[in-house]
Amino acid sequence: MESVRKAKQRLRNYPILLGKCAESATVYAACVTRDLNVQHKTCDKEFQLFKDCLKSAAKEMKTKL
């Protein structure tokens, strides 16, 4: 059951990670909601910045995503 406990802890960390990346999340969300017909890779640059932010915040907190 150790793996379940660790998974639950990672899920509890998500709001903290999202809070640390609020700016890049906002930019990505604005890109996605800009057009009703979002095409594949339209917001790829914004997503990549958001993803990199989440990875670095997780590394900073010494946790996994």
What pLDDT is attached to residue 50? 97
- pLDDT category of residue 64 using cuts at 50, 70 and 90: confident
Please give the residue range of the domain that contains residue 54.
2-61
DSSP 7-22: HHHHHHHHHHHHHHTH
Question: 3-state DSSP call for residue 61?
Answer: coil
- Domain count within the chain: 1
What pLDDT is attached to residue 20? 96
User: Per-residue pLDDT for 5 more than 90?
Assistant: yes
Q: What pTM value is reported for the model? A: 0.85
pLDDT tens for 20-47 read 999 999 999 999 999 888 889 899 999 9
Its sign, for the CA torsion 31, 29, 38, 49, is positive
What pLDDT is attached to residue 36? 83
